[in-house]
Chains A and B, each alone.
Chain A
Amino acid sequence: MTTLAPTIPAPAAAAPRSVLPPFRWLFPATTVGLILFILLPPITLLSLSVNDRFDLVWGIFPHGISFDLYRESGPAILRSVADSMRIALPTVVVCFLVGLPVAYALVRLRFPGRGLLAELVNLPLVFPPIVLAFGLMQIFKQGPLSGTSPWVAIVLGHAVVSLPFMIQPIIAALQRVDVSVEDAARSLGAGPLRAFATTVLPVIMPSVLTGVALVFARSISDFEITLLLTTPEISTMPIAIYQAFESGSTRLGAAVAMATNVFAVAVIVILEIAVRRLRWW
């Protein structure tokens, strides 16, 4: 049997002093660099949107605060928020209704083709959005579903790409729920749906809400699929931002971008707080 004798490190010989900073500084330095890289561009966009003229102090800070652009573009912002909600909310509902049964089948049941189904669940995560949008464009504009409303087409397109975001958190939650709880409810006379709704659903609700937040975020951020399926009557937040910048009005684009950003991030943060509260209870 070998034993590890306590090793007393020998005093290090005086090494030549390196001109490079200590190696362990690389990690906090990278983190600070990344945080600045992520935060600085949107901060300058925010400054631009509230600045009272075009140029900024050092290109970063506003000269004076003015909300005129927000007032001017208010109707356009509200319209894009409303359009995004008209798409995101049905997308969340479709993903929940379609995703919950699949997650339940994958976790609770053993059946031939289970491995294939589990892999199909992740397919929309990696499938190129432009190819998916091209196929949907053909179906909804020239193919068998050509009479369908563009709103429905966009909701279905968003739902397909967002389904993994709903299914994966629910799968993770169901794996942690003891199956005997549901069995006990069944043995006391509850039907399968009632047993699920009264014993399992309350326990997995935080994960369902996580799924809701992820699907919502995916839907309101989507640009690639919406761009190919949209019509002039639909102006979601990303489309409105794109059109505002493309029209050459950088400050107006910045105002639309920042207002919609605040809305999007606020909704997701509220959902995240709700998830934490539910978990705590």
Chain B
Amino acid sequence: MPPSQPLIRRETWLAWLLAAPFTLMLLGLLVAPFLSIAIKSFSGSSSFGLPFLGGADGIVGLQPTTAHYVAILTEPHNQQVILVTLAISAVVATLLTLIGIGTGYYMARRPGLAPTISAIVTYPSLAPAVTIIFAILWFMAPTGPVNHILFQQLELIDEPLQFTGTFTAIVLGDLALFSTLAVRMMASLFEMIEPALEDASSSLGATFRQTFLSIVLPLAAPGLAAVWVFIFIRTMVAYVAALVLGGGAKGIVVLPLEIFSRIQSLGISGSMAQICAFAVVLATITLLGRAVYLAIVRRAFRDRLQGEIL
């Protein structure tokens, strides 16, 4: 008779024991608050605080409603915020995909120069994001280099360019912040494509342009899609660029900044449940984006695409 198996294997106990501090931390500080935020987002109660986290109302006093989500989708200001956020994320992801193709391919095929380029491109991920954004703000300010050259030196424009509070300002800020990610992921992607394929193509008479457009790019296409989605979701949740370059409440407002502003004005004009609904919408969009990214990476690369940890 075989010896009786324990109900839960020793290895399982050990594994979950080792993972317990991490699991408790994640559940307690991220998952539980988010569930509470999600519950509150369906609440008609105007009380402050979150259910089970110090708030007055629990499940019983919830007064369920979808009014906050309806308001997000129907009020013109909210629609504008969501559309602008999606548009900025799409433009940044597209531009960084194109820039990433150029620089990432150059790095992958120039191993001698790659470490130097990589060190420079890594700077935005090492320095505090606030510095990068304020540097861009100064660079484009009325007294900064761009206006100095265009307006004072070359006299190409009649008055200094107004930069803060524009769509372009936030796009440029996010481009700087996420360029490290895009370039590193693209370099990793092009390193996976055998240079021998390009040699074979050129030995058969194809020009560099033909080889790149009809051999390299099609092979890299799933990776390009993965990088695009990854940059898109990272830009969706970023708000430092919008906070500094967006021009305040009357300028360009993105979804995370809208949440931040409403938190700041909570108790004066904000509604707790409305903030929670905004938070759920933002988290849902980014988690869906993450699912799409994982699906592409697992299908096309078996998780070999590196760089996202930056």
Measured CB to CB, the residues of A under 8 A from B are 7, 9-10, 23-24, 26-31, 33-35, 37-42, 44-45, 48, 54-56, 58-60, 97-99, 101-102, 104-106, 109-114, 117, 120-121, 123-132, 134-139, 142-144, 146, 156-157, 159-160, 163-165, 167-169, 214, 217, 220-221, 223-224, 227-228, 237-238, 241-242, 245, 250, 253-254, 257-258, 260-261, 264-265, 268
Interchain CB contact under 8 A, B286 and A128: yes
Choose among A35, A130, A160, A245 the residue that contacts B29 (Cβ–Cβ < 8 A): A160
Taking A127-B30, A131-B279 as given, write out 13 further A-B residue pairs in contact, using a Cβ cutoff of 8 Å, ordered by the A residue number: A26-B102, A38-B176, A59-B143, A102-B22, A105-B15, A109-B18, A111-B9, A126-B286, A130-B237, A134-B33, A135-B29, A135-B30, A136-B33
The residue among A23, A34, A117 with the most chain B CB atoms within 10 A of its own CB is: A34
CB-CB under 8 A from A157, the residues of chain B are 29
Contact with A along B1-37 (1 / 0, CB 8 A): 0000000010110111011011101100110011011
Judged by a CB distance under 8 angstroms, whether B209 is at the interface is yes
Given A130-B237, A134-B275, A138-B33, CB of A41 within 8 Å of CB of B136: yes
**Do A45 and B138 have beta carbons less than 8 Å apart?**
yes
Interface hub of B54, B109, B207, B286 (most chain A Cβ within 10 A): B54
* Cβ-defined contact, A163 with B22, below 8 A: yes
- Residues in chain B within 8 A of chain A (CB atoms): 9, 11-12, 14-16, 18-19, 21-23, 25-26, 29-30, 33-34, 36-37, 48-50, 53-55, 98-99, 101-103, 105-107, 109, 117, 120-121, 123-132, 134-139, 141, 143-149, 153, 175-176, 179, 183, 203-205, 207-209, 212, 233-234, 236-237, 239-240, 244, 256, 259-260, 263, 275, 279, 282-283, 286-287, 289-290, 308-310
Question: Could you tell me the distance between the alpha carbons of A26 and B212 in the complex, rounded to whole angstroms?
Answer: 12
- Of B15, B33, B106, most A-chain CB atoms within 10 Å: B15
Instruction: Name B144's contact: one of A29, A59, A121, A223 (CB within 8 Å).
Output: A59
The minimal Cβ–Cβ distance linking B181 to chain A, given in whole angstroms, is 11
Task: Write the chain A residue with the least CB distance to B139.
Answer: A41
Q: Which of B23, B143, B256 meets A130, CB within 8 Å?
A: B256
Q: What is the minimal beta-carbon distance from B283 to any residue of chain A, in angstroms?
A: 5
Known contacts: A136-B33, A223-B128. The answer to whether A143 contacts B49 by CB under 8 A is: yes
Contact of B21 among A45, A101, A223 (CB under 8 A): A101
**Residues of chain A lying within 8 A (CB to CB) of residue B205:** 7, 9-10
Tell me which residues across on chain B come within 8 A of A58, comparing CB atoms: 145, 148-149, 153
Please report the C-alpha to C-alpha distance between residue A7 and residue B203 in the assembled complex, in whole angstroms.
Answer: 8
Q: Roughly how many angstroms separate A264 CA and B122 CA in the complex, as a whole number?
A: 13
Chain A residues lying within 8 Å of B25, measured Cβ to Cβ, are 98, 156, 159-160, 163
Residues in chain A near residue B263, CB distance under 8 A: 134, 137, 228
CA distance A30 to B110 in the complex (A): 14
Q: Are A143 and B131 in contact (CB under 8 A)?
A: no
Nearest chain-A residue to B294 (Cβ)?
A119
Which listed residue (A105, A111, A144, A265) contacts B53, Cβ 8 A? Answer: A144
Chain A residues lying within 8 Å of B125, measured Cβ to Cβ, are 217
17 contacts between A and B (CB under 8 A): A27-B105, A38-B124, A42-B123, A42-B135, A58-B148, A111-B9, A120-B23, A126-B234, A129-B256, A132-B30, A135-B30, A138-B53, A143-B54, A214-B310, A241-B130, A257-B131, A264-B126
Cα–Cα distance between A31 and B120 once the two chains are bound (Å): 11
Contact of B22 with A257 in the complex, beta carbons under 8 Å: no
Report A221 CB to chain B, min CB distance, Å.
Answer: 4
Contact B138 A44 (CB under 8 A): yes
CA distance A37 to B146 in the complex (A): 12
A130 to B120, CA, bound (A): 29
A197 to B: closest C-beta gap in Å:
15
CB distance from A148 to the nearest CB of B (A): 12
A254 to B135, CA, bound (A): 8
Complex-state Cα separation, A138 to B310, whole angstroms = 29
**B212 touches which one: A23, A56, A143, A144 (CB < 8 A)?**
A23
CB neighbours of A9 from chain B (8 A): 204-205
Q: How far is the CA of A29 from the CA of B290 in the complex (A)?
A: 32
Tell me which of B19, B237, B287, B310 contacts A129 (CB under 8 A): B237
| Residues of chain A within 8 A of B207, CB atoms compared | 23
Interfacial chain B residues near A30, Cβ < 8 Å? 98-99, 101-103, 106
Closest chain B CB from A268 CB (angstroms): 5
Q: Do the beta carbons of A128 and B237 come within 8 Å of each other?
A: yes
Which residues on A sit within 8 Å (CB–CB) of B30?
Answer: 123-124, 127, 132, 135, 160
Which chain A residues border B11 with CB–CB below 8 Å?
109-111
Cβ contact of A23, chosen from B109, B117, B209, B286, cutoff 8 A: B209
User: A34 to B179, alpha carbons, bound, how many Å?
Assistant: 8
Among residues of B, the one whose C-beta sits closest to the C-beta of A26 is: B102
